[in-house]
Amino acid sequence: MAKFDSEWIPKSAMTIFAHPDDTEFSCSGTIAKWAGEGCEITYVLCTSGDVGTHDLKYSPESLTVLREQEQRNACALLGVQQVEFLRHEDSRLVADLTLRRELVYLIRKYQPQVVFCGDPNQVFWGNRINHPDHRAAALAAIDAIFPCASMELLWPEEGPAHEVHGVYVRDLTLVDTWIDITGTMDLKIKALAEHHSQLDGIRGLEAMIRQRSADTGKKHGLKYAEAFRVIKLKGD
């Protein structure tokens, strides 16, 4: 299987997203599939979603504790080995050098072949506004991957330089890779349902996620799929 083909499974992968539950929505079918085939997975959460509710029974502190536990529970279901929380402030995430450097450290520490992230250009989703943290996390991830993590003379105290092989971008417009998640669709739904603080019952959401994944796979003869724009940085 050639590298970056839709059936290729790397040895290691990292996901970099803004909030608990973002990764489940974006790529958890693929994550569960790859983890099941022996790929070592590391989740990075830039914030812990500490203001992500309209329910005033929570404080930012109590919501952090709850949402981190929800994320860990989802990761356990998916077979994710490591979860890193950077604990930047929710809804105030900025793609600055502090965040970029933290991500460089983690990329060098775990040396993933593949990194998943969002699309930094996605201001709108159809007729909805994308959360600014989603764009900031995506931009910081891209900037950390290339060129910073791979530059030996840059921040040598953050670990030995590492070159990521490819970036799987959750891009809704320039998709070029469809991954069959038929076998892990149920796990994706279960992992999403672990985010109790965010979901008013899984039933409506489940129908929406299944429909979206079915629509994504339809043209390629797949029952359920996740689609990405793959940026190839290192061939063999």
Residues 1-20 that bind Zn ion (CB under 5 A): 19
Q: In what order do the strands lie in the sheet with 225-232?
A: 82-88, 40-47, 12-17, 114-118, 166-170, 225-232, 177-180
Q: Looking at the chain, how many residues does it have? A: 236
Q: Which is nearer to Zn ion, 49 or 217 (CB)?
A: 49
Q: Which residue is nearest to Zn ion (CB)?
A: 19
The reply on whether position 22 binds Zn ion by CB under 5 A is yes
The reply on whether position 119 binds Zn ion by CB under 5 A is no
Report d(CA 114, CA 231) in Å as an integer. Answer: 10
Residues 166-195 that bind Zn ion (CB under 5 A): none
Q: Are strands 177-180 and 166-170 parallel, antiparallel or unpaired?
A: unpaired
Q: Which is nearer to Zn ion, 47 or 213 (CB)?
A: 47
Q: Which is nearer to Zn ion, 19 or 88 (CB)?
A: 19
Q: Which is nearer to Zn ion, 1 or 128 (CB)?
A: 128
Report d(CA 80, CA 7) in Å as an integer. Answer: 19
Q: How far is the CB of 134 from Zn ion (least distance, A)?
A: 6
What are the residues binding Zn ion (CB under 5 A)?
A: 19, 22
